[in-house]
């Protein structure tokens, strides 16, 4: 049987076949994508509280773990990092601290939170993409530690309290008489900043090396001149000192000793200067000896002796009566300085007292012209008729001590100072002195005549009288030759003095003259005239008659013999005025002296048993007497 050939179907065009293949491929890919999306979605649903698979932190795979599991895994894996020990070295000493103690820590929670956030973005497509990347390619997050420098700085600060030490400079100390040198010690200071920098670099570099060499700054003790100062102290305390001196006549005195203990008490060790120029100064303060030397000074000193002169009116020149002599005065400050210098002298442990030379103000050769002594400006004369020999002798001696004295401008003159002590050793003689109603022996009767005569010259010259004391009653000697009362001047050592001031711009010269043949005493004052003085007659008021005569016993008299030793005088108030005129005749000053005289009775000495004897309640002291008695 034969079949007829079948009809061949028509062939599909190639473009159609290609299109069909593309459709089939797209359908397959779409199905695959759908399956993938559904798979990722399903995986996300399955791992809702877990970290996306494929996520790791450094070498730790934590994909699929819960956050708590991941934190535990990280902490366990890296626990050794926080426990790692760091060693700090300073010479032979070491200190150790863990990384955790120094502030190193693993922020596990923070790292896990970052890992957990992968695939959980707000954008769904982004979340799918992140999950796909983690699933197919893996995501590795870096491992990082935190480093709290404050903890490290606190550790280093505590370390510094063990290392740091203040510098102690060298010093001196005394143990009794022994001097000791303390060499001191260096100061140390940990460089905390450098240590923190080195630690930070190691931690941040995650270096395997964990040894840190600490930087310690040393400050050596300052010695300055300590050895030299110690040597000075040793010399100072080696032996006692001697202070030597002599009397004004050159006679050497036994030395005074300054003991080692006294030297030690005066030693002073101080620091002076600054920086490298700082040094020890050793000195000795022996000023506590100054009061002793000040007390001793007058004994060893000698005042300068002023020259004595008289004036020659004819030539206008001064004649030297007694040449001036230099004096000396103990210089306490310089003596102390010398004594202190000897403290540090190892060879000569002796110091000599130092005396300053005192030059006289009026040496030999001084001229009248340069002093302003040109002519007589004032004079006064009193008489001592009928005075007994001892009184005359005392007047002559006292007047001589006041002859030739120069008084400078502005200077105050003291009668007692220039007169000196009224004693037998000075040449004054005894005389009868009636004191408290009894006849006694006294020294210096007649000196009040000297002071009275000088006072009258001073008062008549217009000079400023600064001290004048009157007698208690009128003395007949001072009213001889028509002189009135009220111009007397009593002195009584040491209480009563006669003083006046040279209140002119020129020097004045005092001259005295004992005119024995005339029973007279004269004082003259030479200078340059500055005014004219007129002394008025005394004004006498309130006269009180003298009491009856008094008689006192004298053992050297025989019955019937009588010796008058005082004269009666009425009491009265007396004023004596003086007027001072300038060169043009104008009055520039008017002043006065006032005296209140007590009434005084005549006193006679009679032999024992004389019927006229009676108690004498008060009487004359014809020498140096208190106010109310005469001289």
For residue range 501-555, what is the model confidence (pLDDT) as tens digits?
999 999 999 999 999 999 999 999 999 999 999 999 999 999 999 999 999 999 9
SS3 139: strand
Short-list 308, 301, 445, 309, CA closest to 384: 445
Which sign does the torsion angle of CA 150, 155, 158, 163 carry?
Answer: negative
For residue 226, what are the contacts with CB-CB under 8 A and spacing of at least 6? 170, 171, 172, 181, 280
Confidence of residue 631 (pLDDT cuts 50, 70, 90): low
User: What is the mean pLDDT of the segment spanning 216-235?
Assistant: 88
* The pLDDT value given to residue 364: 86
Pinpoint the alpha helices (H) of 279-380: 290-300, 332-342, 368-371
* The pLDDT value given to residue 43: 54
408-444 in b/e burial notation, b at 16+ Cβ within 10 A?
Answer: eeeeebebbeebeebeeeeebbebbbbbeeebeebbb
Short-list 182, 148, 189, CA closest to 165: 189
Short-list 521, 524, 496, 458, CA closest to 630: 496
* The pLDDT value given to residue 623: 37
Domain extents in the chain: 36-165+185-216, 230-305+323-358, 368-606
Confidence of residue 556 (pLDDT cuts 50, 70, 90): very high
Q: 494 preceded by cis ω (within 30°)?
A: yes
Q: 81-93: per-residue pLDDT in tens?
A: 778 889 999 989 9
Please report the DSSP string for 49-105 in residue order.
TSPPTTEEETTEE-TT--HHHHHHHHHHHTHHHHH-EEEEEETTEEEEEETTTTTEE
What is the fold of 230-305+323-358? Ubiquitin-like (UB roll) (3.10.20)
SS3 236: helix
SS3 241: strand
User: What is the mean pLDDT of the segment spanning 295-321?
Assistant: 95
Residues above pLDDT 90, as percent of the chain: 59
């Amino acid at each position: 049987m034969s079949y007829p050939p079948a009809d061949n179907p028509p062939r599909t065009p190639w473009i159609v076949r290609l299109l069909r293949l593309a459709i089939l491929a797209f359908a397959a890919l779409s199905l695959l994508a759908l399956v993938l999306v559904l798979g990722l979605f399903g995986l996300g649903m399955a791992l809702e509280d877990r970290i996306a698979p494929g996520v790791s932190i450094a070498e730790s795979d934590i994909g699929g773990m819960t956050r708590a599991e991941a934190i535990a895994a990280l902490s366990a894996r890296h626990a050794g990092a926080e426990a790692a020990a760091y060693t700090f070295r300073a010479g032979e000493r070491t200190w150790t601290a863990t990384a955790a103690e120094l502030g190193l820590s693993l922020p596990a929670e923070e790292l896990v939170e970052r890992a957990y956030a992968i695939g959980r973005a707000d954008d769904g497509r982004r979340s799918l993409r992140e999950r796909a990347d983690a699933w197919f390619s893996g995501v590795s997050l870096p491992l990082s530690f935190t480093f709290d420098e404050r903890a490290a700085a606190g550790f280093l600060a505590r370390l510094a309290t063990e290392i740091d030490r203040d510098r102690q400079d060298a010093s001196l100390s005394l143990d009794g008489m022994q001097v000791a040198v303390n060499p001191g010690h260096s100061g140390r200071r940990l460089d905390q900043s450098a240590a923190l920098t080195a630690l930070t670099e190691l931690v941040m570099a995650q270096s395997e090396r964990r040894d840190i060499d600490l930087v310690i700054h040393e400050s050596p003790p300052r010695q300055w001149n300590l050895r030299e100062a110690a040597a000075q102290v040793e010399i100072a305390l080696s032996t006692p000192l001697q202070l030597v001196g002599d009397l004004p006549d050159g006679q050497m005195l036994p030395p005074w000793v300054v003991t080692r203990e006294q030297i030690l008490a005066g030693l002073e060790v101080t620091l002076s200067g600054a920086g490298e120029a700082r040094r020890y100064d050793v000195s000795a303060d022996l000023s506590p000896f100054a009061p002793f030397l000040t007390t001793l000074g007058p004994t060893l000193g000698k005042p300068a002796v002023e020259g004595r002169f008289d004036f020659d009116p004819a030539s206008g020149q001064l004649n030297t009566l007694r040449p001036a002599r230099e004096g000396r005065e103990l210089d306490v400050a310089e003596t102390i300085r010398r004594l202190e210098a000897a403290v540090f002298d190892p060879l000569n442990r002796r110091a000599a007292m130092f005396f300053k030379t005192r030059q006289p103000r009026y040496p030999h050769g001084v001229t009248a012209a340069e002093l302003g002594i040109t002519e007589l400006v004032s004079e006064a004369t009193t008489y001592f008729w009928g005075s007994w020999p001892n009184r005359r002798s005392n007047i002559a001696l006292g007047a001589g001590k006041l002859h030739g004295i120069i008084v400078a401008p502005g200077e105050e003159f003291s009668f007692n100072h220039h007169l000196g002590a009224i004693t037998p050793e000075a040449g004054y003689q005894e005389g009868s002195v009636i004191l408290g109603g009894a006849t006694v022996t006294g020294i210096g009767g007649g000196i009040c005549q000297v002071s009275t005569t000088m006072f009258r010259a001073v008062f008549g010259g217009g000079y400023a009288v600064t001290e004048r004391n009157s007698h208690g009653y009128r003395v007949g000697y001072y009213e001889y030759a028509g002189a009135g009362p009220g111009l007397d001047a009593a002195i009584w050592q040491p209480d009563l003095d006669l003083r006046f001031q040279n209140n002119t711009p020129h020097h004045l010269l005092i001259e005295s003259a004992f005119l024995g043949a005339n029973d007279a005493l004269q004082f003259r004052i030479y200078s340059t005239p500055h005014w004219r003085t007129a002394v008025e007659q005394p004004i006498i008021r309130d006269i009180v008659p003298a009491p009856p005569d008094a008689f006192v016993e004298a053992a050297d008299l025989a019955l019937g013999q009588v010796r008058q030793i005082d004269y009666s005088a009425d009491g009265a108030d007396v004023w004596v005025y003086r007027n001072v005129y300038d060169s043009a005749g104008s009055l520039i000053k008017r002043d006065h002296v006032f005296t209140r005289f007590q009434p005084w009775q005549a006193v006679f000495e009679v032999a024992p048993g004389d019927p006229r004897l009676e108690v004498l309640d008060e009487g004359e002291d014809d020498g140096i007497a208190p106010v109310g008695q005469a001289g």
